[in-house]
Each structure stands twice: as C-alpha cells, then as structure tokens.
Chains A and B, each alone.
Chain A
C-alpha cells in the first residue's frame, strides 16, 4: 500500500460512524475530540522511542495511534502508524528513523487540522 495515495481524512469513515450511532453528530464530534486530546501523547511517545532507538517502546503508542486514527478516518496517519508499529515489532531500526518521526508528526498535524475543520463544518 502506498501511504501517499490515502486521504488525510476519509470523510466517508466519519459518515459511516455517524450512521452507526443513529446520526448523532455530537457523539462523533466528542469522539474526534477524545482522539485529538489523546493522539498527541502517542505521537510524542513514538518520537521518544525513535530517538532512543527503542523499537520495543515504539510498538504500543504506534498501535494505539493506528487503531484510533482508523476509527476517525485519519487513513494516511493510520497507515504510517501501522508501518511504525510493525517496524517496532520486527526491530527494524532503519524503518524507525527521526525522518519517520518527523513525517508522522506532520501527518498528525494535517489530520488534526482536517478533523477540526470537519467538526466546525458539521456545525457542532
């Protein structure tokens, strides 16, 4: 899979999420806010693990970030986090370099912006 082909924010995921809770957009917005409040910590933990070349410590925050990013439609970030999770599991230091951490940070910022735009557009 080429990460570059994935959208920063797949709005169809949010639409489906909304449908699954009976069209309760407030709940979707709450969920996004929980994600935004929490995800930054995982990005920091990923950065710290990469700087320490500690691939074991990389796995957990990358996994959590992957999973919750997928839930809110941050597809590209989910894919990047997944790559890092597997690099961590397999101890591949070459695939968990500071450049990867920087790319993840940039994608996190882009996804956060897109999610905030979505919530403000949704009128909540």
Chain B
C-alpha cells in the first residue's frame, strides 16, 4: 500500500486486556445500535466462528463467515462490501495481520481497502503498533468487549464512553435469571470448587457438583445439563477424556462444555476444542471471564421455553 493516499487509521486502540483489567469489562457498556451492519468473520476455528456469528447476529448485525482467509479476500475482490471485519490472528495459510495487509492492498475504488479490521488474538500476543488495523481484542472474546470494540470502531469515540459503574460491583448478579442454565461443575479440588460455587452463586446459578470425570458422566446419565464447567485435570478420568466419552455417548445432546485449566500453554485451547469442548476459561477463575463464558453458552431446551436467548 506504499504510495496510496488513502491509508486509513482510526484513533481507536483497544489494547489486549491485561489480566488485571479484566474485572473492568462489563456486558454491553455502550448503548449503540449495530443493527444491519455487515460483518466479515474470518477464523479457522469453527467453534469460534459460530460464537462470533451468534454474538454479532444477536446485536442485529449481518455476519458472513469463513474459515479461509483466501475465500474472504475473494469476496472482497468480487466487490462484496462489509462495514467491519473480525480476523483471527493465528490461522494457517494467511494469518490475521497478513490478511489485513492483503485487504489494504486491494484496489481502493470499491472501498474495501479501508475496511475497519479488528484482530482477535490469544493471550500472550502483544499489540503491534504499526499494524494496519483498527483494534485488537484478546481471546477468549467477551461479548461485552466485542460489542464495545465494534461500536467504538464503527461509531467513533463519542458513543464509546462507558457508563460509570461502581468500581467494586460484582459481576452481573441477574445473569442466571436472564440466561438460565442447568450447570454441572466438574472440579475435584475442594478449594477451587468452593470458589467456583461462590462465583456461580453470585451470578444467580445453582450448579450441581461432580468431583471427577466418572462422577461427571454419572451425573449426565442421571439428568440433563446445559453446561458442564470441566476442570481439565481431574483424577480417575480427566476432563479431556470425559469430554470425548460424553460426545461419543450422547452425540445429539447439546451440552456445552467449558474447559477450566491453569495451564496457560498455547496448545491447551486447541486440545480442549479437539476433545469436543466448546469454550475455555483460565484458572484461577475470574468472575467476568466466567460470566462471559456462560453468556456464550446457548440456553438449554428447558431454559429456552421460558426465555428466548441468542
């Protein structure tokens, strides 16, 4: 894009949320209308794509998604127009930044070269100052942060002033009423189990508890759950193996499995998703991260009888 007169830079930067800033993010702080905006979603991970599609559609946006950066480039080249793009950073073939460079290098006539781009990147990847993008967002992406970032990029800083909130307010205490879920907490460590139960109670959830993988499966034999919060390393049967067995045994059950693990290793998330888990939170559990993960979980049949979500 050297020599082009139309390099587009928004003065918006959403830095990667450092761990100590996570507590400040709240669901939908910005009251902005995103309805009808077209969003291009490119992520090689099908589960992540599904989550991004569901979230943006919920705000009335019109998502179009692909796992292939080259297909996305093809759409843009063919003249398809979008208001904003969400690119995963780590993808095979073409990563999110390379894809951004390619988009910027498109002929300027149709405007795609100036498409606002948000890069979604995993923990540990630092913001790059010179990247030709509008904003960075840390994964796993919280709905509130995604909403606020899109609103800020599309509508500018003026709408993006967060509503003031009391600093010490705990996470959304009515989430369990607004988004009811039957939760099974699979955690063997008594200290962490106690903490998780407390954090769930604060969100107005009343989970059942299993102390290892075998108990988890026994609990699922007994009754239906919408969400399993699954410690990855449990005795008897670990979370990955328990998940594989659950998926093999009940392929049609829509149980949403969220991994909880202290290992911040890069391959962990992939291992969890490969085993059939839907989402991932890190330990020690933070209330906002937990709330965001539960918000991403689809409400179960029993719950959606009462309320329509997603």
Residues of A that sit less than 8 Å from B by CB: 13, 16-17, 19-23, 27, 30-31, 34-35, 38, 60, 63-64, 66-68, 70-72
Contacts and interface: CB of A to CB of B under 8 A. Distances in A.
Interface of B: 20, 23, 168-170, 188-192, 194-195, 198-199, 202, 233, 235, 262, 283-284, 286-287
B62 to A, nearest CB: 37
Contact of A71 (B195, B233, B287): B195
Given A13-B284, A68-B190, 16 more contacts: A16-B20, A17-B195, A17-B284, A19-B23, A21-B198, A22-B202, A23-B168, A27-B198, A34-B191, A34-B194, A38-B190, A64-B188, A66-B262, A67-B191, A67-B192, A71-B191
A57 B58 CA distance: 49
A64 B170 contact: no
Contact of B192 (A19, A23, A71): A71
A67 B194 contact: no
Contact of B170 (A17, A22, A31, A68): A22
Nearest to B288: A20
A21 B283 CA distance: 15
Contacts of A23: 168
Nearest to B20: A16
Q: Which of B170, B188, B189, B286 gathers the greatest number of chain A CB atoms within 10 Å?
A: B189
B189 A67 contact: yes
B286 A72 contact: no
B23 A20 contact: yes
Contacts of A70: 262, 283-284
A68 B192 CA distance: 6
10 contacts: A17-B195, A21-B170, A21-B199, A21-B202, A31-B194, A67-B262, A67-B283, A70-B262, A71-B191, A71-B192
Nearest to A67: B189
A69 to B, nearest CB: 9
Nearest to B261: A67
A45 to B, nearest CB: 12
Contacts of B286: 20
Contacts of A34: 190-191, 194
A60 B202 contact: no
A54 B287 CA distance: 38
Contacts of A71: 191-192, 195, 283-284
B261 to A, nearest CB: 10
A26 to B, nearest CB: 11
Given A20-B287, A67-B283, A60 B235 contact: yes
Given A60-B235, A67-B283, A70-B262, A19 B168 contact: yes
A27 B194 CA distance: 10
Given A21-B202, A31-B194, A63-B233, A68 B189 contact: yes
A13 B190 CA distance: 18
Contacts of A30: 194
Contacts of A66: 262
A82 B85 CA distance: 41
A17 B286 CA distance: 9
A13 B194 CA distance: 16
Contacts of B169: 22
B76 to A, nearest CB: 43
Q: Which 7 A-B pairs have the closest CB atoms?
A: A68-B191, A22-B170, A20-B287, A35-B191, A71-B284, A67-B189, A64-B189
Nearest to A63: B233
Contacts of A17: 195, 284
Contacts of B284: 13, 17, 70-71
A81 B191 CA distance: 16
